[in-house]
C-alpha cells in the first residue's frame, strides 16, 4: 500500500467563456456538490457567493456542474478571494493564466492603496 494519498481529481472547464451560471438570486446546490445541510446561497451576499464558488470548484464532478453554477466574469472578480486547495488553484491558473494575472494585479492594487495612506 502506498504511503502517498492519491490526488483528488478536479474538473476544469474547457474555457472560462462556457461558465454561464447565475449571478443573482438564491441557489441550492445539488447534493453531490453541496453535500452538507440544505442551504440556499444568496448570491447578493458576498460571503455566500464566495462559499458557493469554493464548493463548486472543489466538488463539481463534471464540466456541466461548473457551467451551471459558475459565471466567468464573476469568477474573475472573486478569484483572488477564494479559499481553495493549492492543487486546484494551480490547475485552474495553469489552464487560465488570466486568473493568476487578475489575482496578482488585484492584490498589487490593494497593497498599493494600503501603503499609500
Q: Are 58 and 65 in contact (CB under 8 A)?
A: no
pTM flag (> 0.75): yes
pLDDT tens readout for residues 90-103: 999 999 999 988 64
Candidates 24, 76, 84; CA nearest to 60 is: 84
Q: What is the torsional sign of CA 73, 57, 50, 90?
A: negative
Helix (H) or strand (E) segment spanning residue 87: helix 86-95
pLDDT tens readout for residues 11-66: 999 999 999 999 999 999 998 898 778 789 999 999 999 999 999 999 999 999 99
Decide if pLDDT at 4 tops 70: no
Candidates 19, 84, 18, 20; CA nearest to 50 is: 84
Amino acid at each position: 500500500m502506498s504511503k502517498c494519498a492519491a490526488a483528488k481529481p478536479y474538473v476544469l472547464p474547457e474555457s472560462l467563456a462556457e461558465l454561464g451560471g447565475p449571478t443573482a438570486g438564491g441557489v441550492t446546490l445539488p447534493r453531490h456538490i453541496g453535500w452538507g445541510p440544505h442551504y440556499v446561497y444568496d448570491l447578493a451576499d458576498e460571503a455566500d457567493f464566495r462559499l458557493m464558488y469554493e464548493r463548486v470548484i472543489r466538488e463539481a464532478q463534471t464540466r456541466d456542474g461548473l457551467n451551471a453554477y459558475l459565471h466567468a466574469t464573476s469568477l474573475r472578480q472573486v478569484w483572488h478571494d477564494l479559499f481553495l486547495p493549492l492543487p486546484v488553484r494551480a490547475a485552474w491558473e495553469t489552464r487560465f493564466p488570466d486568473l493568476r494575472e487578475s489575482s496578482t494585479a488585484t492584490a498589487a492594487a490593494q497593497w498599493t492603496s494600503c501603503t499609500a495612506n
